[in-house]
A and B are shown apart, each in its own frame.
Chain A
Amino acid sequence: LAKTTQPISMDSYEGQEVNITCSHNNIATNDYITWYQQFPSQGPRFIIQGYKTKVTNEVASLFIPADRKSSTLSLPRVSLSDTAVYYCLVGDWLTGGGNKLTFGTGTQLKVEL
């Protein structure tokens, strides 16, 4: 399983763009990168997934360089409601070999006024 490393915490202010980087040096060829968000006392919520280059949806963007050894989740113009823990997961589910994805401890993002 590819091990991931994220910052433990980040602080930001409302209206700013936040970039959370995840390091996954031993990512395998079939592994995908997935990000989840978790609010206190709730289950995680899927944000975005990608394999390479850039993926964008209505919530966030995911940037993956050519070597795929890291990825960056970008949250545009954050608000107080984006205060949460963000998890980076790396694994292979499409070919059936990666059911055992691990969440790690995540990055606690705190957004202030």
Chain B
Amino acid sequence: NAGVTQTPKFQVLKTGQSMTLQCAQDMNHNSMYWYRQDPGMGLRLIYYSASEGTTDKGEVPNGYNVSRLNKREFSLRLESAAPSQTSVYFCASRPDRSTYEQYFGPGTRLTVT
């Protein structure tokens, strides 16, 4: 099993450009999450998907959209990137409500200039 994979690993954008961060998991997990982590800070939840077909806002959803394409894939889109969105983005998945254990991907380091 590859676990949780994220693409790309690194990305530099100019202000106003758009891009989609991809996340996929091969563990048949129901829930998936997108977090951002700014330097020296903890993780903040952007959006989550409790199950296929559902998405909901987290703590910092402004400027982002998500798509739960199927059970495996959960993408995060920045429609018009801003320097404040410079961060490391982590995707995570969780099997179901019976556990608090999330499995995290390796992260995408995004810089917006």
Contacts and interface: CB of A to CB of B under 8 A. Distances in A.
The answer to whether A and B assemble together is yes
Contacts, number: 60
Interface stretch (A14-22, A72-80, A101-109): A101-109
Given A99-B56, A102-B59, A34 B100 contact: yes
Contacts of A87: 42-43
Given A94-B97, A99-B48, A45 B104 contact: yes
B78 to A, nearest CB: 20
A81 interface: no
Interface residues of B, number: 28
Given A99-B48, A102-B44, A103-B42, A93 B107 contact: no
Contact of B45 (A44, A49, A95, A101): A101
22 contacts: A32-B100, A41-B107, A42-B106, A43-B106, A44-B43, A44-B90, A49-B99, A49-B100, A87-B42, A93-B100, A94-B97, A94-B98, A99-B31, A99-B50, A99-B56, A100-B45, A100-B58, A101-B45, A102-B59, A103-B35, A103-B43, A105-B42
Interface of A: 32, 34, 41-46, 49, 87, 89, 93-96, 99-106
Interface of B: 4, 31, 35, 40-45, 48, 50, 56, 58-59, 90, 92, 94, 97-107
